[in-house]
Structure 1
Amino acid sequence: MSRSFKPYPFSPRHYEGTPPPLIDGRDPARRAVAIVGGGPVGLTLALALARQGVRSVLIEADDSVCTGSRAICISRRSLEIFKRLGVLPGFLQKGLPWTGGRSFYRDAEVFRFAMHQDDEQSLPPMINIAQYQIEQLLLDEVERHEDLIDIRWQTRVTGIEQRDGHNGASGATLDLRTGDTAWQMDADWVVACDGGRSKIREALGLKLTGTTYEGRYVIVDIELNSSRATERLAYFDPPSNPGSTVLVHKQPDNVWRIDYQLRDDEDPDAAIQPDNVMPRVQSVLDSMGETGDWSPIWITVYKANALTLERYRHGCVLFAGDAAHLVPIFGVRGANSGIDDADNLGWKLGCVINGIAAPRLLDSYSDERVFAARENLSYGMKSTEFMAPPSFAFDLMRNAVLGLATQHAAVRPLINPRQTHAIAYAQSPLNHVTSEAMSAFSTGPAPGSVLPECRLKKRNGDGVDVDIHLTDLLGPCFTALRFGADPESGHGDQGDGKWQQMKNTLAARGIPFNVITLLTSDAASTTALQVRDHTGRLHDLLDATPGTVYLIRPDGHVLARWRNGNAAETLRALTAALAN
């Protein structure tokens, strides 16, 4: 249930719903991938596939991007994904960056947190941006790939039938309806990105399992012109709303998001009536010292869920985003975890469709992202139980922590909202781990981890060193980071020629791959593609010495590492991952 007032300062484009040319009620073109749901997850997946030359059709029930207040925070990890997809500039231009927040108990500040941010980072730890803006930025890029991405607006899924085949790769038939026209589409793979009320999940008889919380929050978007800094503000038992918890986020275009907790005895239907909402919002603004005029835009009610499917692959049907898992909003893991799903699935599904990996590679998508979902749910549940205590015991504990925090710094970290972070796939079946590598490295990202960010220098065509970051070097391909250059005549299999030969071998098989040589500032130069770790920081972060090699997956996770690596070992590890 929701209520809208003054329109958002945003003018979406609207699209007609038209089926493709049909023969006997069926789309004659068999699709490689049908993506059901055109939200942030579905749009990200379509772009990830397009980067690999894979065609997809995106099926969206609405006629435009979303309306209302949904996801509003995009993490650094999601921004890194958007960077690889070529859509980052719009997000940095529109979004409001922030690095931390403050929590208050009654009228006293009891906790201040800061997310990791230093001069090595190329991206802020978080930006605030509304979901309709997220979708529009992604849609703008999708429309630049009309040769690879077909969008069917105002089209709903009414049924799905899978056809049995070896390893679930034989495809499915989707029953669809666009306006008054019922039609069918055949697809080799179907990806359900159709949200918490997934029609695909329902049609397959699958159920989310986990915890549903009884506590409810009213979510209010307002328009307010304020110069206040962008940060996360949390108020526990504030004088303006006794017994409630209030969250406040500043968004672009003078939009503010205010979430406040309902008491157990409050009726949710009555709670969104303007006569009940307006005074409570005003009291929050008064307590913040905000004296400007404001107008309501959107009101709705939210209930926290911590739920997931047991598996995200069911034959030729895969699940991503809210269709696969529902994560509490506290810690902003919902949209961000879905974007990570799309990033993980995109390169794997592309490899399968392009014929360079077996369909069983997609089982690793389920393994890794179910693990990530359970990690996210664990953090989200802890945050939820603190933000909206589900029982008297939790409420008693929270009040004790908040009361002690005013005088005792040691208990303040218990108020930490546990913001979303990149999750390492420590037990991934793709990880290439050898006993030699386990004992050779004392620090640095192990297989399954995401690379840390670091400033580097790269020489341009004019012979001038320019500043870059490590994430600038990672594209939608496998990447070998090779520390220290060894001429072919000097070190055999580590020579530049062997790596070029490997690159040519993979190119002939259609496998996207790049090798980058990283030198210290005083190392001798060769003809290889080289980047300078001018401060030595990356060598320290990765515990790298001359001869060290890191193999990175297309989604930025480490696949393998060697203290003394070579092209042959790297090729074997990459080939094994694709064969899974």
Structure 2
Amino acid sequence: MRPEGRDDLSSLYFKYPQFKSFKSSHKTEEKIPVVIVGAGPVGLTAALSLARYGVRSVVLEAKNTFNDGSRAICLSRSSMHIFEQIGVEKSFLQKALQWTKGRCYYGAEEICSFEMPNLKDEKYFPMYNIQQQYTEQFLWSAAEKNELIEIRWGSKLLNVKQMDENTTVNVECENGNYDLLSKYLIAADGARSATRNNLGLSLKGENFEGRYAIADVRVSMQKPTERIAIFEPTSDVGATVLVHRQPDDIWRIDWQLKEGQSEKDVLKEENIKDIVSKVLIELDCHEDWDLEWWSIYSANTLCLDNYRNGSVFFVGDSAHIVPIFGVRGLNNGLADAYNLGWKLGYVHNNMAPKSLLDTYSLERRGATLDVFKNATKSARFMAPHSRGWRLVREAVLSLAKSNIFAQPFTNPRQMSPYTYRENLNTFVNEQEKKFNSGIVFGDLCIDLKLNGGGYLLDRAGKGFFGIIFLDIIEDPRGVDIESQCQLFDPNFRIIQIYLNSQKPDDLNFYLAKKLDAKIGTFYLLRPDYHVGGRWRDLDIAEILQALKIQMGKL
């Protein structure tokens, strides 16, 4: 909602573009590889991911502009890696605010702080804050320039039909309806997905009782970029208040509604302003401020039983809804989009069998369920739903200042990298037992600075790749394994890391230490930077087997 006198797109800091509605000149259009429903961040990331592999897509969007309100604001390190792969990271780095820390208060007293893992010389920070309008603008700007992507604004999905080799979408546009044929359909049309409803599918899971109001305000407040959580604030505005800084002097304030409060009353502009004023005073901010936007949400952990329905794939909120605690929603959706994007790319280019697409739901739904475990704990602590949980929370908060063991309970478990460790397609070998640390199979690889400049993952391409640790430049093993792997994946690359020093300040040695690597150690990575296997000692036969398994060829 916007203040009185301003429409939905009247922002204090962002100018919404107005795009022309698409007009179709045919009742039935030619078949294209992929139709994407929804031009939000997840849909556009899917389109750019597909384009990276030469796959054409048409993106349908019912509106004629970006989503209103700042919505999702936190982007994780893993999302920045995705943006780098699709070529949009520079815009984000110029605008977004990076952060690593958070502070927790019990009333007016600071009881603890936390810092997210952030290795020395790692390329990206753990978290960045930026309004969703900018996220959509940066992605749209890249998609608009890509000849493989066509965005059709003012185009509403009416019906979906699946046949043997076709998906037919009936679309309503400015000059009537038309049918659009495609091989695959990606539903990125949000929590109220028209695609999902059209196919008779529904989200299942748990709805939490806690409700939150959310407001964005413009104010010049001299505080660092970090997450602030106030439990039982002295202003008595609610049980919990969360505060995040955004670019352009915009601040996000969330507060838990009191039991029995009417949403209708809460949403009144005068009541929103009253609460915001109290929170700002509690933050020791006495500057003039303006209200930008506000809304209400409740915490839910909901998802589909399967993220694939025939030739239709669900990504982002159309597939799952998670609480905002820990900023998992959009970041999970971006991971969906890229996971599906590289797999569709490989299948479309006949580099992998269609069975590879079955791993999309297996992996991404598995990641969602893992998120649910942490999100459920966070939601019950942040918005306790029973007297028992309220007593637990009160006890933890009372103990947290002077007892370290209680402090982790106050941390909403900020977005940690998802893992595919339980996925059946992840190769496990006996050599895994020889590692004492490092990045285990299924986990996301770290990206550290190397000798000579640049970062580890800068050397990756768009295919599978290997990291091998050698002591001499002339060692033929790197070239040999690259040529053999390219028989199965022409995009395969080898990254050779030379270890000729054990000085603590040697960057290659530091990387080897973090990966628990020695001369001859090999890591196999997928296009999304997840570890597909690792070997303490080079074993080409096993590496080739693992590559084929990861590509769905075994």
- What secondary structure, in the 3-state scheme, does the structure 1 residue paired with 2:28 have? coil
The runs of 5 or more residues in structure 1 that have no matched partner are 165-169, 458-464, 524-531
Percent of aligned pairs with the same amino acid? 39
Structure 2 match to 1:575: 548
Does the CA contact (< 8 Å) of 1:327 and 1:333 recur in 2? Answer: yes
1:9-54 C-alpha deviation (Å, 9 max, x unpaired) = 11132211113431xx111x20101111111111111111111111
2:543 aligned with 1:548: no
Aligned counterparts of 2:417 and 2:478: Cα–Cα separation in 1:
33
The correspondence of residues 350-429 of structure 1 with structure 2, limited to 5 A, is: 350-429=345-424
**1:566 to 1:19, Cα distance in 2 relative to 1, 3 A:** farther
- The yes-or-no answer on 1:80 pairing with 2:85 is no
State whether structure 2 residue 111 is matched by structure 1 residue 110. Answer: yes
Structure 1 residues 203-261: Cα deviation after superposition (integer angstroms, max 9, x where no partner): 11111111111221111111112232111111111111254311111110111111111
2:455 alignment counterpart? 469
Alignment match, 2:258:
263
Q: Which residue of 2 aligns with 1:499?
A: 481
Deviation at 1:496, TM superposition (A): 4.8
**What is the distance in 1 between the residues matched to 2:213 and 2:175?**
37
Q: What is residue 538 of structure 1 aligned with on the other side?
A: 511
Partner of 2:148: 148
8 Å Cα contact 2:432/2:535 also seen in 1: no
Query: Is the partner of 1:505 in helix, strand or coil?
Result: coil
Q: Cα distance, 1:2 vs. partner?
A: 6.7
Q: Distance in 1 between matches of 2:360 and 2:344?
A: 9
Code of the residue aligned with 1:546 in structure 2: it is I
- Identify the range of structure 1 (405-414 vs 542-551) with the bigger mean alpha-carbon deviation: 405-414
Structure 1 residues 430 and 128 mapped into 2: Cα distance closer, same or farther (>3 Å)?
A: same
Partner in structure 1 of residue 140 of structure 2: 139
Residue of structure 2 in register with 1:305 after alignment? 300
Q: What is the letter of the counterpart of residue 460 of structure 2?
A: L
1:516, distance to aligned residue in structure 2 (A): 1.4
Task: Measure the CA separation in 2 of the matches of 1:180 and 1:496.
Answer: 58
- SS of match in other structure, 1:299: strand
Aligned equivalent of 1:222: 217
Larger displacement relative to structure 2 (361-370 or 233-242) = 233-242
Q: Distance in 1 between matches of 2:183 and 2:405?
A: 55
1:453 is aligned to 447
Deviation at 1:119?
Answer: 2.2
Given that 2:488 and 2:548 are in contact with CA atoms closer than 8 Å, whether structure 1 keeps it comes out as no
- The answer to whether the 8 Å contact 2:499/2:519 transfers is no
Task: Give the distance between the partners of 1:496 and 1:393, measured in 2 at CA.
Answer: 59
Deviations 1:260-305 (A, max 9, x none): 1111211101111112111111011111111111011111111111
Residue 513, structure 1, aligned to residue 492, structure 2 = yes
SS at match of 2:374: helix
How far apart, in 2, do the equivalents of 1:497 and 1:452 lie? 24
Q: Output the aligned Cα RMSD.
A: 2.0
The amino acid of 2:391's aligned partner reads L
Indicate conservation of the 8 Å contact 1:482/1:547, yes or no. Answer: yes
Q: CA separation in 2, counterparts of 1:242 and 1:182?
A: 49
Q: Look up the SS of the partner of 1:414 in the other structure.
A: helix
Pairwise CA distance, 1:84: 1.6
Contact 1:519 1:533 in 2 (8 A): no
2:323 maps to 328
Instruction: Please tell me whether the aligned partners of residues 461 and 491 of structure 2 are also in contact (alpha carbons under 8 angstroms).
Output: no
Report deviation, 1:69. Answer: 2.8
- Relative distance call for 1:149 and 1:242 in structure 2 (3 A) is closer
Deviation at 1:567, TM superposition (A): 4.8
Answer yes or no: is the 8 Å Cα contact 2:228–2:243 preserved in 1.
Answer: yes
For residue 501 of structure 1, what is the amino acid of its counterpart? S
User: What is the rounded CA distance, in whole Å, between the counterparts of 1:412 and 1:569 in structure 2?
Assistant: 44
The equivalent residue for 2:342 is: 347
> Following the alignment from structure 1 to structure 2, what is the Cα–Cα distance between the partners of residues 239 and 577?
54
Query: Is residue 246 of structure 1 aligned with residue 262 of structure 2?
Result: no
Partner residue in 2 for 1:526: none
Amino acid at match of 1:479: F
User: Hey, what does 2:290 align to over in structure 1?
Assistant: 295
SS where residue 450 of structure 2 aligns? Answer: strand
- The Cα offsets for residues 523-548 of structure 1, whole Å up to 9 and x where unpaired, read as 9xxxxxxxx97451222222222222
Q: Cα–Cα, structure 1 residues 515 and 203, in superposed 2: closer, same or farther, change >3 Å?
A: same
Q: TM-score, normalised by structure 1?
A: 0.90
Instruction: Give yes or no for contact 1:551–1:559 (8 Å, CA) kept in 2.
Output: yes
Q: Separation in 1 of the partners of 2:245 and 2:134?
A: 15
Q: Structure 1 pair 10/243, CA: closer, same or farther in 2 (3 Å)? A: closer
CA distance change for structure 1 residues 394 and 504 in 2, over 3 Å: closer, same or farther?
closer
- In structure 2, the partner of 1:12 is 16
SS across alignment from 2:236: coil
1:26 matched to which residue of 2? 28
Cα distance in 1 for residues equivalent to 2:228 and 2:201: 38
Answer yes or no: is the 8 Å Cα contact 2:471–2:500 preserved in 1.
no
Cα deviation for residue 377 of structure 1 reads 1.3
Distance 1:184 1:485, change over 3 A: farther
Does the CA contact (< 8 Å) of 1:63 and 1:153 recur in 2? Answer: yes
- For 1:505, give the aligned amino acid: L
- How far the C-alpha of 1:314 sits from its partner, in A, is 1.2
TM-score relative to the length of structure 2: 0.94
Task: Output the CA distance in 2 between the equivalents of 1:248 and 1:349.
Answer: 39
Name the aligned partner's letter for residue 557 of structure 1.
Answer: H
User: Contact between 1:110 and 1:405, CA under 8 Å: does it hold in 2?
Assistant: yes
Give the letter for the 1:548 counterpart.
T
Question: Deviations for 1:283-339, whole angstroms, at most 9, x for unmatched residues?
Answer: 111111111110111111111111011111111111110000000001000000001
Aligned partners of 2:542, 2:508: CA distance in 1, in Å? 29
Q: CA deviation at 1:478?
A: 0.8
In structure 2, the partner of 1:182 is 177
Match of 2:538 among 565, 571, 574: 565
Q: Report if the CA contact (8 A) 1:84-1:474 is conserved.
A: no
Q: Quick one: which amino acid aligns to residue 492 of structure 2?
A: F
For the Cα contact (< 8 Å) 1:38–1:58, is it kept in 2? yes
Corresponding residue number in structure 2 for 1:527 = none
Who is 1:439 aligned against?
433
SS at match of 1:297: strand
Instruction: Specify which of 466, 486, 494 is matched with residue 480 of structure 1.
Output: 466
Kindly provide the CA deviation profile for residues 491-542 of structure 1, in whole angstroms up to 9, marking residues without a partner as x.
xxx63552353365356xxx3111111111349xxxxxxxx97451222222
- In the aligned structure 1, how far is the partner of 2:423 from the partner of 2:515? 20
Pairing 1:157–2:157 present: yes
Would the aligned equivalents of 1:521 and 1:533 in 2 still touch at CA under 8 Å? no
The aligned amino acid for 2:457 is T
Q: How much has 1:404 moved relative to structure 2? A: 2.3
Q: What amino acid sits opposite 1:152 in the alignment?
A: R
Secondary structure of 1:350's match? helix
2:218 and 2:292 in contact (8 A); partners too: yes
State whether residues 2 and 292 of structure 2, in contact with CA within 8 Å, keep that contact through their aligned partners in structure 1: no
Q: Deviations over 1:378-419 (max 9, x none)?
A: 111111111111112111211121122244333122111110
